[in-house]
Amino acid sequence: MCGDDPGPSGLRSGRVSESGAIARDLLRMVVSVEKWSDPPPIPGQFLMMRVSERTDPLLSRPFSIGGFERKGDGAAIEILYREVGVGTAAMARWPIGQEIHFLGPLGRGFDFPPEGSRVLLFAGGIGIPPLLFLAREMAARGRCGELTLLYSEPRHDRFYPLESCFLPGMETFFCTRDGSRGRKGRVTEWLREQGDVSGTSLFSCGPTAMMRDIFIMVSGMELTAQYSLESRMACGFGVCMGCAIPVLVKGEATYVRVCTEGPVFDGRELTEGSFVGI
Amino acid sequence: MEEIDLTVDLGRGLRLANPVMSASGTFGYGEEASRYFDISRLGAVVVKGISAEPRPGNPPPRLVETPSGMLNSIGLQNVGLERFISEKMPFLRSVGARVIVNVLGGSVEEYALVCERLSGVDGIAALEINISCPNVREGGEAFGMKPGPAAELVKVLRTTTDMHMMVKLSPNCGDIAGVARAVEEAGADSLSLINAITGMEIDLQSRKPVLGNIVGGLSGPAIRPVALRMVHQVRQAVAIPLVGIGGISEGRHALQFMMAGACAVQVGTAFFSDPLVHLRIIDQIRQFLLQSGENARDLVGSLDAGNG
pLDDT reading at B140 higher than 90? no
* Amino acid identity for residue A266 in this structure: D
Q: Distance between CA A196 and CA A67 in Å, rounded?
A: 32
Percent of chain B scoring above 70 in pLDDT: 99
Q: Cβ neighbours of residue B256 under 8 Å, at least 6 residues apart?
A: B228
Angle of helix A187-194 relative to helix A208-218, nearest 10 degrees?
10
Q: Is the peptide bond before B194 cis (omega within 30 degrees of 0)?
A: yes
DSSP state of B187: T
Nearest to B188 by CA among B242, B110, B256: B242
pLDDT at B46: 98
pLDDT band at A116 (very low <50, low <70, confident <90, very high): confident
Spatial contact of B208 and B202, defined as CB atoms under 8 Å apart: yes
Q: Which domains does chain A have, with CATH numbers?
A: 12-106 (2.40.30.10), 110-228 (3.40.50.80), 230-278 (2.10.240.10)
**For B149-176, what is the mean pLDDT?**
97
Better pLDDT: A135 or A142: A135
* pLDDT tens string A183-204: 999 999 999 999 899 999 999 9
Q: Long-range contacts for A85-88 (Cβ within 8 Å, ≥24 apart)?
A: A86/A51, A86/A57, A87/A49, A87/A51, A87/A52, A87/A57, A87/A59, A87/A61, A88/A27, A88/A51, A88/A61
Q: What is the ipTM metric for this complex?
A: 0.95
Pairing state between β B164-168 and B190-193? parallel
Average pLDDT over all residues of chain A: 94
pLDDT at A252: 82
**Chain B contacts to A (CB-CB under 8 A):** 25-28, 32-38, 48, 56-57, 59-65, 67-70, 72, 74, 77, 220-222, 249, 269, 271-276, 279
Domain ranges of chain B: 8-299
Contact flag A57-B65 (C-beta cutoff 8 Å): yes
pLDDT reading at A174 higher than 90? yes
Chains A & B: contacts with CB separation below 8 Å: 105
Spatial contact of B268 and B70, defined as CB atoms under 8 Å apart: no
pLDDT at A49: 98
Global pTM reads 0.96
**Residue B158's Cα: distance from chain center in Å?**
19
Q: Distance between CA B116 and CA B202 in Å, rounded?
A: 41
pLDDT at B307: 53
Spatial contact of A44 and A106, defined as CB atoms under 8 Å apart: no
pLDDT band at A5 (very low <50, low <70, confident <90, very high): low
Within 10 Å of residue A197's Cβ, how many Cβ atoms? 17
pLDDT band at A2 (very low <50, low <70, confident <90, very high): very low
* Closest CB from A103, A232, A255 relative to B57: A255
* CA distances, B255 to each of A19, B213, B266 (Å): 41, 35, 12
Q: Does A56 contact chain B (CB < 8 Å)? A: yes
pLDDT at B40: 98
**For B109-120, what is the mean pLDDT?**
96
Please indicate whether residue B133 is annotated as part of the active site. yes
pLDDT at A115: 87
Contact flag A103-B275 (C-beta cutoff 8 Å): yes
Spatial contact of B134 and B141, defined as CB atoms under 8 Å apart: yes
Nearest to A151 by CA among A174, A178, A180, A118: A174
pLDDT reading at B266 higher than 70? yes
Q: Distance between CA B154 and CA B179 in Å, rounded?
A: 11
**For A10-32, what is the mean pLDDT?**
97
Contact flag A242-B72 (C-beta cutoff 8 Å): yes
* pLDDT tens string A138-150: 999 988 888 999 9
* pLDDT tens string A252-264: 889 999 999 999 9
- Among B115, B133, B173, B263, the one annotated catalytic: B133
Q: Distance between CA B173 and CA B288 in Å, rounded?
A: 34
Please give the biggest Cα pair distance in chain A: 56
Q: Distance between CA A143 and CA B154 in Å, rounded?
A: 65
Contact flag B37-A11 (C-beta cutoff 8 Å): no
pLDDT at A3: 44
Which of A50, A55, A86 has the most B C-beta neighbours within 10 Å, making it the best mutation to test the interface with B? A55
pLDDT reading at B37 higher than 90? yes
Domain B8-299, CATH class in plain words:
alpha beta
* Closest CB from A10, A238, A244 relative to B32: A238
* pLDDT tens string B53-106: 999 999 999 999 999 999 999 999 999 999 999 999 999 999 999 999 999 999
* Smallest Cα distance from A11 to chain B, Å: 7
Which of B32, B55, B272, B279 has the most A C-beta neighbours within 10 Å, making it the best mutation to test the interface with A? B272
B75's torsion region: left (phi>0), alpha (psi -120 to 50) or beta?
left
Q: Distance between CA A103 and CA B52 in Å, rounded?
A: 34
* Smallest Cα distance from A19 to chain B, Å: 23
